[in-house]
Amino acid sequence: MDLHARLTIRAIRARGLNLTLLRPVETASGVMRSTPLVLIDLVTEEGITGVSYVRCYTPTALGPLAQLVANLDSVLTGDAAVPAAVERKLQRHFRLLGPQGLTGIAMAGIDMALWDARAKACGVPLATLLGGEPKPVPAYASLRTMSPDGAAAEAEELIALGFGAIKVKIGRGDLAGDLATIRAVRRAIGDGVRLMVDYNQSLSPADAIDRVRVLDDEGLYWIEEPTLADDFDGHARIAAAAKTAIQLGENWWGPHDMAKSIAARASDHAMLDVMKLGGVTGWLRAAALAEAASLPASSHTFPEISAHLLCVTPTALYLEYLDHAGPVLTEPVRIEAGNVVTPDRPGNGLEWNEDVVQRFIA
């Protein structure tokens, strides 16, 4: 284990691919039938390659995002593969443009690949490099289906894998539609399994307050993103009116957004998205903020790397299991008794299945 290993960036490769989903993801905003991913390979002079992937949700942005990541090759080639130093350089590079949106996603992808390379150079799993150890991480299953019958059937499939918590998306119709889906899933999973719901930002604060007061009688564990993600004051009003916990965070653009949300008392929980927070470096700062504010911290997608990061998050609660990259990985996320098994091999555990990747290159 060489903690002083020095790595130099030789090249950065980005490949965009649009994976067709076998089971589309239904949301209040529409249906996602594919998952656009950019695979990142950060090659070092020493022969170690750090890998990561990022998502852009819509195929419209896939080409521009892949090109933006690839363009960073000329910015970073020859630099030391040190996450803190690279972060400072990229923050300066994009300061006038801004660190949100595609620029933030690109920077986070580079950061995740750098940390993977560092862990591989040290011969340890990412969790170990960060001061923890790989261990099973409690997970909740995020349903892809919104209709009452479809969501109930999917929930039954996932409960059979041992999950002790389920999340279902609602908000595509009226309150009666929300209740029909919630109650169908509850009948399927029983009272011993936690049930969460996600509105995906579909309500106004006033409508959200009216609905959460009714949902308070449904025994939900949390209600996620009832209104626009950056409306911290609106979420604070909703949280004050609700007895059920309000969950927010998957759309925080970095720890600064998170700090604003905490100051507004917008959420009772924290949902950490490693991509939008700024990679591993951003997550570690966010985890410290969650601990200081006593907020239970769960992850948003990216289950492979989130498993490592939750191992070192003081207020860790749940990992969200909603697999997007599994088809292009040699070893997809493994579930045992409702827990995600954190890989104990060097790095973050990602390795591309090149035969599959080549079939989906955009």
Domains and CATH numbers, the chain: 9-123 (3.30.390.10), 128-354 (3.20.20.120)
Digit-coded pLDDT (tens) for 86-103:
999 999 999 999 989 999
Q: What is the pLDDT of residues 273-285, one digit of tens each?
A: 999 999 999 999 9
What is the average per-residue pLDDT within 13-32? 93
Checking if the pLDDT of 193 tops 70, the result is yes
Among residues 167, 235, 300, 308, the one annotated as catalytic is: 300
Instruction: Read off the pLDDT of each residue in 35-56 and give the average, rounded to a whole number.
Output: 97
The per-residue pLDDT for range 104-114, each reduced to its tens digit, is 999 999 999 99
State yes or no: pLDDT of 4 exceeds 90.
no
- Output the pTM of the full model: 0.96
* Mean pLDDT of the 234-258 span: 98
With residue 260 as reference, give the H or E element that holds it.
Answer: helix 255-264
Which whole number is the average pLDDT over 54-81? Answer: 97
Indicate if the pLDDT at residue 361 is higher than 90: no
Computed from CA positions of residues 257, 263, 266, 270, in that sequence, does the dihedral angle turn out positive or negative?
positive
The answer to whether the CB of 232 falls within 8 A of the CB of 205 is no
- pLDDT interval class at 154 (50, 70, 90): very high
Among candidates 228, 277, 219, 279, which has minimal Cα distance to 250?
A: 277
Per the prediction, the chain carries an average pLDDT of 96
Q: What are phi and psi of 46, to 5 degrees?
A: -85, 0
- Alpha-carbon distance 336 to 291, whole Å? 27
**Type of residue found at 120:** K
Question: How do residues 297-347 score in pLDDT, each as one tens digit?
Answer: 999 999 999 999 999 999 999 999 999 999 999 999 999 999 999 999 999
Place 362 in a pLDDT band, splitting at 50, 70 and 90: low
Out of 169, 235, 276, 308, the active site residue is 169
Cβ atoms within 10 Å, residue 184: 19
Q: Is 169 a catalytic residue?
A: yes
Nearest CA to 310 out of 348, 336, 345 is that of 348
* 300 annotated active-site: yes
Give the CA count within 13 Å in the CB-facing half-sphere of 194: 17
Percent of the chain with pLDDT over 70: 99
Q: Which residues pair with 316 in a beta bridge?
A: 297
